[in-house]
Structures are given as structure tokens and as C-alpha cells.
Structure 1
């Protein structure tokens, strides 16, 4: 099919106490499940490395020109599949896997403080929560000022807002790899559905039915 939608989904390599990173496990499970015949899915494991992300993200957008890029990361405090609405430019002080962090403490000098996804995460949350897939979904406005947030901001800038970030809990706390894969599949399908219908954050302000959780 020449008119397939292109979707890029990334997870992260292990870091810190996360010897197995549930984000990449979930993305591999999603790759196995797929997003349907009409979607061309490309997955990629990102290093926990500021400079590498700075180089890889523009390449992914340029090479694949996706309708949507979805980045997945693990959160040690998450107990649900958490949809992030914003990427943030400043406050990056934590060292990456190469013991580096940006001297400027920001993603893009002169960039806006935050960039919001064009996808209304509350609406995605509401739709998935109403589908009884057995996985709790929540919404957050703080992606944590580490590689997750840094990746999200960089991707939102590259894709003019056509990007999403999903935090997943560690494996078994409470979900299995299969459940995380199904959860990812459900939220990404809803994101694509909203994009196709032309819904954006601005147009859906009255749909605020999901609980919010701040990531730290």
C-alpha cells in the first residue's frame, strides 16, 4: 500500500537501576503485535545519551517522515501507562549513561520553554480507559527532565508537535511485557485516530476526564 501511515516508535536502553528497560521490551512487544495493515511501523532503541539523541532524532524524522513519532520510557514511580502532554527545554542536570549532561542544561538554546503535542492526551486517555483493555492509563504534564523529556522536546520540535511520549512502569509493576505491548498498541491507535480526524489539544479542552500524575 503506497498510502500507508508511517509511525516511528522508540524505547530506551538500560540505565541506572533499570537493568532491563521495560520501555524497549514494550516497544519490541508492540512490533510483534503491529498497528494494523495500514501502518508502516519502524522501531528503534535509543541510547540514554543526550548527544546521541540530539543526532538520532533529526535523522529518524528525516529518513522516515512519519505521521507520528511515539517515544516510550520507563518511570520508576509510574503504576499506569502515562501519557505526557509536554516536552520541556530546560532543567537537564542529571548525567546520562556516558556521564554527560548539556552544559546549557537545555535541549535547544533560544527554544521555547515547552512544546505541547498536537495530540490531546486527555482524549486518548479517555478513549483507551473506556475500552476495557485492563490497563490503567493516566496523563502527566511533567516528563521528568531526563532523557525522556529531552527526547520528547527534541522530537516535538522536529515534528511540529506530531510526537507523543508514553511512560511505562517497570516490568511486573504491575504489567507484563505483553500487557505493556497491548497498552502501547491501544494508545497509539487512538493517537492516530485523533490525528486522522484532525483533533488537537486546543479543540478538545472540554474533555478532561483522566487523572493526572506528575513525573519526577
Structure 2
């Protein structure tokens, strides 16, 4: 079973492309014959992690892919590392604004994804979907959920999981905006490609996809 998640809108926006992409990707994967569930998470510290953990406990998936919006990024960002730090530049949807607080008190400083991000990068390139391996998921609710996921998966050794950031979706932007975006079908296709790659890949590719700064 595959679990996909996206977020509700935040920061005054009316849509969040991560949730639309997760729902559409779930339909694509179901069309492949997979058992898939899509869950919308609140953009709230604490509540988002609990909702995700409840979904993992309920569905017991073999693969979890969480998605969030990274407005301003031009590519699908395959996140490599989740850090144990909440440091919110803006309040979440419940008005919380933690500063320099751990996601999990006493937890490790960081977790690496257990998804094959290099293989996914190559697969996305083959589909002409712009993508990158990202070394930081930020310190807002996306990273909070990514860290909470990897921490929770310690109890499920047969389940792999990770996080993907998506750019703005084209329809979000006003006419004349210079902000990068991608069309909605491409965002959904990207999530489906990542899942399909993970399902058939046990050892990640060894290729350069790091950062110099």
C-alpha cells in the first residue's frame, strides 16, 4: 500500500498544489493497479505530524511520500535530509510560530530519506520533468512533517518514506508574474514517477547531485 500526503493552503493562499498533486498522483498510481491512499495534512505544527502518524498506523503502507509547496523553487525538490528543528518565519494556520524548538524532544539531529532520490532524479529527467536533490527542507511545517515521518518509521522497518517539495502550480500565479511554476499535470506526474521509481529500486544510484553551497 502507498500513502501520499499533501498540505492544506497556508499563508493566505487559496490552494496548495502539493495536495492537488497528491490526489492526482494517487489516481495515476491506482490506474497502475496499486492500492493508494491520499491524505491532506493541516499546515499546523504538531497536528500535521499527528495526522500523518495516524495515517501510517491506520494504513500500514509500504511506501510513504509526503509533498509540500516550496514557492519560488523552479524544480521538483527531492528532499534528502530532515532536521530536528522548528523555526517558523511565519505563523502556521493555527497561529503557532515556534522558534528553535525540536520536532521531537531528544530525537536525533537529523534523518536521511529512505527513498532513492538519485534514481528518482534520473527517472524525472527521463520524463523531462525539472528536478533536483535538495539538501534542506527548511524549518517550517514541511520539514516538521518530514522529520516526524522518518522518526515514526523507526517502528515500521519495512516501510520507506520521504518528502518532495513542489513549485507553485501555474494557475496560482497572477498574469505577468515572474515566479517559477509548473503545470498541475506535471506536478502529479512527478509524484507518481518518484513512487514508481521507489517501488522498483532497492539500492539508489550513485551519481553527483550535491550542492556547493
TM-score, structure 2 as length reference: 0.85
CA gap of 1:122–1:179, structure 2 versus 1, over 3 A, is same
- Report the equivalent of 2:177: none
Counterparts of 1:93 and 1:82, CA distance in 2: 20
The reply to whether residue 208 of structure 1 matches residue 207 of structure 2 is yes
Distance 1:54 1:27 in 2: 17
Match of 1:124 in 2: 120
Q: Give SS of 1:108's match.
A: coil
Q: Give the alignment partner of residue 180 of structure 1, picking from 182, 187, 191.
A: 187
Which residue pairs with 1:3 in the alignment?
A: none
CA contact (8 A) 1:128 1:190 kept: no
Following TM superposition, by how much is the alpha carbon of 1:31 offset from its aligned partner in structure 2, in angstroms? 2.4
Quick one: structure 1 residues 77 and 103, their matched pair in 2 at CA, closer, same or farther if it must change by over 3 Å? Answer: closer
What is the CA–CA distance in structure 2 between the aligned matches of 1:64 and 1:112, rounded to whole Å? 26
- Compute the displacement of 1:79 (Å): 0.6
**In structure 2, the residue corresponding to 1:23 is in which secondary structure?**
helix
Deviation at 1:32, TM superposition (A): 2.7
Gaps of 5+ in 2: 171-179
Q: Taking structure 1 as the reference length, what is the TM-score of the superposition?
A: 0.84
Which stretches in structure 1 are left out of the alignment for 5+ residues? 1-5
Higher mean Cα deviation, 26-35 or 55-64? 26-35
2 CA distance for matches of 1:213 and 1:79? Answer: 18
Structure 1 residue aligned with 2:203: 199
1:107 paired residue among 78, 103, 126: 103
Q: Is the 8 A contact 2:48 2:145 kept in 1?
A: yes
The 2-side partners of 1:57 and 1:27 are apart by 14
Q: Which residue of 1 aligns with 2:176?
A: none
Using the alignment, how far apart are the partners of 2:24 and 2:31 within structure 1?
A: 14
How many residues were matched structurally? 199
Would you say 1:13 and 2:8 are equivalent positions? yes
Tell me if structure 2 keeps the 8 A contact 1:11–1:72: yes
SS in 1 for 2:39: strand
